[in-house]
Chains A and B, each alone.
Chain A
Amino acid sequence: MNALTTMMALPLIGSLLIAIIPSEQVLRIKQAAFITTLLVAISGVLTWIKFDSANTALQFVESAKWIPSFGINYAVGVDGLAIVLILMSVLLAPIVVLAGWNESEGGRWSPKVFYILILVLETMMIGVFAATDLFLFYVFFEAMLIPVYFLIGGFGSGERAAAAVKFLLYSLFGGLLMLASIIGLYVISGANGGHTFDITRLSELHTYMSSTTQNLLFLGFFIAFAIKAPVWPLHTWLPDAAAAATPGTSVLLLGVLDKVGTFGMIRFCLALFPDASKTFTPLILVLSVISIIYGAFLAIGARDIKRLIAYTSISHFGFITMGIFAMTSQGMSGATLYMFNHGFSTAALFLVAGWMISRRGSSTIADFGGLQRVTPIMAWSFFIAGMSSLALPGLSSFVSEFLVLVGTYTRYPVAAVIATFGIVLAALYILIPVQKALHGPTTPGNENLSDLNLREKIAIAPVVAIIVALGFYPSPLLNVINPASAHVLEVQGFTDPVPSESAGK
């Protein structure tokens, strides 16, 4: 059986198993969920090892007819970008399950429902990155909203129902615009060699389109992805959703689901509509820079710790979109590496923040103080995660942020220079809460907080390890990403500008 299909089937089988375990046996359910996600992670790592980074063609390809009369196939396959994101998703899943061991219990429904939703979501997360048929991609893209919707609305806190609805409606709106574009592509493909959704064949279609058509179809895709990513001004659903969801759900939402937006920009916007991408690049760069700065300012002003993390993500996604639309190989590699790193640093922040919140019973930053003394391990974990988020050299995000800025500077120096202020602001939005919550006098109510227990330590350790290891030695990932991102640009004829002074990477 195909490696990707196996990875997608495993969580589904796991969810079926959980479905037959009686809902009273909560521990058994959690164990089953953890073991399933662990197995998926192992098979993900094995696939990663087998992946041939020198080969720029799609690998682990499988294709079967699904709806032949519309030219729709179940077709999966990965290039260097997709495999990195799949690896990130499958590694995060067991960590989320382990870290949020008890977060399923305060929900509207039994933990059983929680874990079934998580596992179904995992299948769709893998599928959305692995799909090489546009229709299949869209099915996953839309269908994955449903489990997330129920995860936020059913197990979140605070204004969870409203946040879930906001999330769903924003995403559905974007998805429907994309559907219009997909129908457009489908009809154009039918007029030029037969109906198809194969992305390789679709990427040749742009030569048959007028520039107006291409621009309109591009916008349908881009708006959907910009909502997902999220890019300013379509971001307003994210802070609400992230604040209402459980920490584990937030990790999957910001760490994985939002990456579908930026991944989609590379896979579909750039590859299918190269001319339109060039047309809209100035606009998108402006939006990205605004996202970077605006997200940072929102983060500085945030009082709620979960909202803070959501705002920092808006800033980070600005960097990623900027790197993608700079259309240089460094920018593209940097953006992809950024997606991977952001997944882990956000996971660390959210998980530790989740533990802090559940111990203190409050998510307001001002309620914490002096955690460094009371709960040193928790404080250190938060600190490292924060440092990674502000891209401290030596931690993973630094490499990717640097690559993005270099890649952007070679073509769009002004955007890169303004974006650099985002780094300065990042120091503020991370250091202020770190100082308030971790250092200083222990505020009343925090004296008796307990430090991380063994399960939590085991959950956070691999995240911190990856953050540190990739900071010093990013080449295992870059070796896979670089050829793939060069290939993406090459196929549609984007070239790197010739460096004028110091040569880049």
Chain B
Amino acid sequence: MTFEAPVLNYSILAPILIVLGGALVGVLIEAFAPRASRRSSQLFVTVASLVIALAALLRVRNQVSVSAAMGSVSFDGAGFLLQASILIIAILSVFLIADQENFTALAAAVPGSEEERHSLQADLRVTEVYPLTLFAVAGMLLFPISSDLITLFVALEMLSLPLYLMAGLSRRRRLMSQESALKYFLLGAFSSAFFLFGIAYLYGYSASITFSGIQASIVGGSGNDVFLLLGIAFISVGLLFKVGAVPFHAWTPDVYQGAPTAVTGFMAAATKVAAFGAILRIYYVTFANAQWQWKPALVLIAIITMVFGSVVAISQRDVKRMLAYSSIAHAGFLLSGVIALNKSGLEASIFYLFAYGIATLGAFAVVTLIRDSGGEVTDLNRWSGLGKRSPLTASVFALFLLAFAGIPLTSGFIGKFSIFSAAYESGNTSLLIAGVLSSAIAAFFYIRVIVLMFFKDSVEDGTSVVIPSALTTTTIAITSAVTLVLGIYPAPLINFIATFATFVR
């Protein structure tokens, strides 16, 4: 047996390698740089590597390749769009993460211990969050362009492990934060096991782990269908867990609430793009020919997810939990783009992912601003009268809520329109009706928050809107501008997506 040296297409892999390189530099800084200079150098390295990665990605935007890494990576227009969305969201998230108020002083210190008090007094800051972010981003970049199941699994773990850690870094209510991180980790490990199990079944079915090999077996139809079904089902469990679809959503509210808000925003926006990117690729490319087997189940999951997310969100009293359930509902809407299985479904999903990711990030950015002496205030009742105290902040948050609700002249409306019409075009009337009805339910709790902010009198309990740092301001300004512009004049982005959005098979 001769050993073949792997042939890698470095220009296509460059964005991932640059981000990973940045992460490694970050680890070195963490190890060797003096504490005082760590924050600024980490921030610089992180933003720089993300920006350079984005530039490197733009250079290869017209390339299409199924053999970028010995058949393990497929790069194409859709991959480019997804990676670009992830990088843009990541850059904006890093701006939020840089506002270190949110993070614990010393992650290793036991909550309530002497060590923690010392670290707080010394005004220490965790800076390991930067390389962790970069590792997660690298995993996210690999996730939607993986074209074999092993690479997909590696990417999944690569993006998940740093997120588990980041979820536990909250400065206040550290026990809750750590509990959420542990929950996330345990459930994530559980779903990874399912995912691996699925890989085994698919290998048993097709004797292949590549997407194209499995697809060829499905088309050939010679394998054992039971293995195929079990394989698709278990792999779907692993993927649906990441996007928080019902019934695999249980971690979402706790983790969204417990994690530092900047991390929640990053997780909610970027993970969703990466995970849906992978789902889109595997369903559009590999499982498309077996659609009669999985479609009914996925339709059911999509409908339950939309309705459950919208209904349960109504009773939430905490803004981060509410946004968590809202993200569950949106996962349901996005699944209808997967089920559509046509070109407009793919374009609509990518547009929706980008628009939703940006709006989500913006919403969480606003959440970081509402604070009292003990940190962020996420209890919705204490948000009442916010419109009086800080009209601008409240208006921006209202804009994001209206975008989530899909009101015209926001990006959410265009997204909703295009994804539902794609679903209906493919003959899924039930998804259209369920989508519209759950949007109506969802409108209720978005509007409730607007009522609270604008029409209720404020309570004097020390809740105030802090003046955002320049970086946070940048994030909020960009996300709100994008949300508005994509609602008023989305044609350029839609055309841009339409020219690129194809999967190479």
Contacts and interface: CB of A to CB of B under 8 A. Distances in A.
Nearest to B418: A70
Nearest to B385: A108
B455 interface: yes
A109 B388 CA distance: 8
Given A67-B494, A68-B491, A153-B454, A143 B444 contact: no
Interface residues of B, number: 37
A370 to B, nearest CB: 38
Given A108-B455, A179-B417, A183-B424, A67 B491 contact: yes
Please indicate which of the listed interface residues B408, B409, B440, B494 has the most CB atoms of chain A within 10 Å of its own CB.
Answer: B408
Please indicate which of the listed interface residues B402, B440, B490 has the most CB atoms of chain A within 10 Å of its own CB.
Answer: B440
B498 A69 contact: yes
A160 B456 CA distance: 11
A146 B456 contact: no
Contact of A108 (B388, B405, B443, B489): B388
B477 interface: no
A385 B414 CA distance: 44
B9 to A, nearest CB: 31
A154 interface: yes
A187 interface: yes
A452 interface: no
A179 B436 contact: yes
Contacts of A108: 387-388, 454-455
Interface string B378-419: 000000000110010000000000100101110001101110
B8 interface: no
A66 interface: yes
A202 to B, nearest CB: 15
Nearest to A67: B491
B407 A187 contact: no
B470 to A, nearest CB: 25
Interface in B450-505: 451, 454-456, 489-491, 494-495, 498
B85 to A, nearest CB: 19
A187 B421 CA distance: 7
Contacts of A109: 391
Nearest to A195: B421
Interface string A340-371: 00000000000000000000000000000000
Nearest to A144: B408
Nearest to B450: A149
Nearest to A177: B436
A51 interface: no
A161 interface: yes
A138 B408 contact: yes
A65 B417 contact: no
Interface string B409-452: 10001101110110011000000110011011001100110010
Contacts of B436: 176-177, 179-180
Assign chain A's interface to a size class.
35 or more
Contact of B443 (A169, A180, A183): A169
A65 B447 contact: no
A237 interface: no
Contact of B407 (A70, A146, A161): A146
B440 A173 contact: yes
A356 B421 CA distance: 51
A445 B153 CA distance: 80
A150 B407 CA distance: 15
Interface string A169-203: 10011001101100110110010000000000000
A68 B416 CA distance: 17
A32 interface: no
A168 interface: yes
Interface string A59-74: 0000001111110000
A487 B104 CA distance: 71
A461 interface: no
A160 B424 CA distance: 39
Nearest to A68: B491
A164 interface: yes
Contacts of B407: 142-143, 145-146, 172
A432 interface: no
Contacts of B491: 65-69
Contacts of B443: 168-169, 172-173, 176
The majority secondary structure among interface residues of chain A is helix
Given A69-B498, A143-B407, A172 B440 contact: yes
Contacts of B416: 179
Nearest to A113: B391
Contacts of B448: 165
A173 B310 CA distance: 14
A139 interface: yes
Contacts of B387: 108
A152 B487 CA distance: 25
A66 B405 CA distance: 22
B318 to A, nearest CB: 21
Contacts of A153: 451, 454-455
A121 to B, nearest CB: 14
Contacts of B439: 176
A165 B447 contact: yes
B271 to A, nearest CB: 28
Interface in A45-97: 65-70
A161 B494 contact: no
A67 B490 CA distance: 7
Interface in B275-323: none
A183 B439 CA distance: 15
B424 A184 contact: yes
A168 B417 contact: no
B494 A70 contact: yes
Nearest to B414: A67
Contacts of A68: 491, 495
A180 B444 CA distance: 18
Nearest to A191: B425
Nearest to A186: B421
Given A66-B491, A176-B439, A139 B409 contact: yes
A466 B343 CA distance: 56
Contact of B455 (A146, A154, A187): A154
Contacts of A65: 491
Contact of A180 (B408, B418, B433): B433
Given A69-B498, A146-B402, A187-B421, A161 B456 contact: yes
A154 B494 contact: no
A186 B348 CA distance: 15
Contacts of A69: 491, 494-495, 498
A169 B433 contact: no
Contacts of B490: 67
B333 to A, nearest CB: 13
Contacts of A168: 443, 447
Contacts of A142: 407-408, 413
A275 to B, nearest CB: 20
Interface string B114-154: 00000000000000000000000000000000000000000
A108 B455 CA distance: 8
Interface of B: 387-388, 391, 402, 405, 407-409, 413-414, 416-418, 420-421, 424-425, 432-433, 436-437, 439-440, 443-444, 447-448, 451, 454-456, 489-491, 494-495, 498
Interface of A: 65-70, 108-109, 138-140, 142-143, 145-146, 150, 153-154, 160-161, 164-165, 168-169, 172-173, 176-177, 179-180, 183-184, 186-187, 190
The 6 closest A-B pairs by CB, nearest first: A161-B455, A139-B408, A180-B436, A183-B421, A142-B408, A153-B455
18 contacts: A65-B491, A68-B495, A69-B494, A108-B387, A108-B455, A142-B408, A143-B408, A160-B455, A165-B448, A165-B451, A168-B447, A169-B443, A169-B444, A180-B432, A183-B424, A184-B424, A184-B432, A187-B424
Given A108-B454, A169-B443, A183-B421, 17 more contacts: A68-B491, A68-B495, A69-B491, A69-B498, A70-B494, A108-B387, A139-B409, A142-B413, A145-B407, A161-B456, A169-B447, A179-B436, A183-B420, A183-B432, A184-B424, A186-B421, A187-B424
